[in-house]
Chains A and B, each alone.
Chain A
Amino acid sequence: MARVLLLFFSLLSLFAYAHSTEPFCFFRPPKGWQRGEFPKSCRQVRVLFALPKSEGFQPSIGLAVEPVHVSLSEYLKKVREIHEKEKGSQWRALGKVHTAAGQAQLTQIDSPSEWGLVRMLQLILVKEEAVYVVTAAALKEEFSQFYKPFQEAFRSLTLTEDLFQVVDQMERRERLKEKREGVLALAEGGVLEALLKKAVWKEFAKEVDEASSELGSHWQFLALKEAQEEFLHRGGTMQPQKL
């Protein structure tokens, strides 16, 4: 009996220390849109892409990820309460959208600003104790120009544990893995600053760039960032160590 209890508790101890990792989430932003800055206080925002403009309101599309323990309908109720508290804002549910990550809910918010009435579309996907919110925004009077690229971005919303698994061609997938391993082989004692100037990194970045013609610049950003983070995780450092 004691042995059984001993085995039982030792197994449970292992489970108590188990950790889960967040899957990669990306969408395909409109072509030519650049990654933009956003307030650091918005800790749930992962990325933002904006149309470069010298003046006026800048159309943008961004992704936020929030851990939740509620259903989609409960989340929508909360979101409606939040948006309707803003003076002059109008919120409404538009219906379901089928994305690569699953079925999501589309909502619309019209909100006044210094530039005029801003229209935002928020795509909300709840999956495995997390909510993924893609927010597309433009001036209401200009919104029709961006409706199609916004719809394409929404439909492309993807969740994956492996960034290379979503690459269609097997040969390209294999080349990407090979180039990535070539980069990571330099991790032990390597310096990230120096790595980025080496041919091995440039070859990997070139391969990622070619794949991004199909998957978009958000996927490209994630693939490069993941390789750099893994390089640091496997023993690389940001800058040369002072002796």
Chain B
Amino acid sequence: MRRCILLLMLFSFVAPLAADGLDEYKEDADNLYRTGSGAEEGAFTAISTSMLGWGIGLSLGIAILASVLHQSSSSHAHTTTSSTTGQ
């Protein structure tokens, strides 16, 4: 019975360590390629913030222009129709 409990405790200790070991290996492997990524992302974000602002501004501008053009063409069609029918 004691041997069973001992084996169980040993397994419960080894299993998370093994998982941690794999995680650590993966992290080490990642770090070979990714160390410095915090600084890289910080710099990228600083530049892209302005681009995001421009992108949103441009999208809004296009949407407003499209809306104005649509309204303008609708009112023009109405005027043309009334001029041809109302004699």
Contacts and interface: CB of A to CB of B under 8 A. Distances in A.
Interface of A: 2, 5-6, 9-10, 12-13, 16-17, 36-39, 42-45, 48, 50, 53, 56-58, 60, 62-70, 74-75, 78-79, 81-83, 109, 111, 113, 115, 118, 120, 122, 124, 131-137
**Mostly helix, strand, loop or mixed at chain A's interface?**
mixed
Contacts of B52: 37-39
B50 A115 contact: yes
Contact of A9 (B10, B31, B36): B10
Contacts of A50: 49
B42 A45 contact: yes
Nearest to A41: B41
Interface of B: 2-3, 5-6, 9-10, 12-13, 16-17, 20, 27-28, 31, 35-50, 52-53
B13 A82 contact: no
A137 B44 CA distance: 10
Given A2-B2, A67-B27, A60 B46 contact: yes
Contacts of B47: 111, 113, 118, 137
Contact of B13 (A13, A56, A69, A131): A13
Contacts of B16: 13, 16-17
Given A44-B37, A64-B41, A16 B20 contact: yes
Nearest to A38: B45
Contacts of B42: 45, 62-64, 122, 133-135
Contact of B39 (A57, A60, A82, A136): A82
A150 to B, nearest CB: 12
Nearest to A122: B39
Contacts of B36: 75, 78-79, 81-82
Contacts of A56: 50
Contact of A120 (B20, B35, B43): B43
A64 B28 contact: no
B35 to A, nearest CB: 5
Given A2-B2, A38-B48, A109 B43 contact: yes
Given A13-B13, A39-B48, A6 B6 contact: yes
Contacts of B27: 67, 69
Nearest to A63: B42
Given A6-B9, A16-B17, A17-B16, A133 B39 contact: yes
A109 B12 CA distance: 49
B13 to A, nearest CB: 5
A122 B45 contact: no
Contacts of B10: 9
Would you list the 4 A-B pairs with minimal beta carbon distance, nearest first?
A: A66-B38, A135-B42, A137-B46, A78-B36
A214 to B, nearest CB: 26
Contacts of A39: 44-45, 48, 52
A48 B45 contact: yes
Contact of B38 (A17, A57, A64): A64
20 contacts: A6-B6, A6-B9, A16-B13, A16-B17, A16-B20, A37-B52, A38-B48, A39-B52, A50-B49, A57-B50, A58-B53, A66-B39, A75-B35, A83-B39, A83-B40, A111-B47, A113-B47, A113-B50, A133-B39, A135-B43
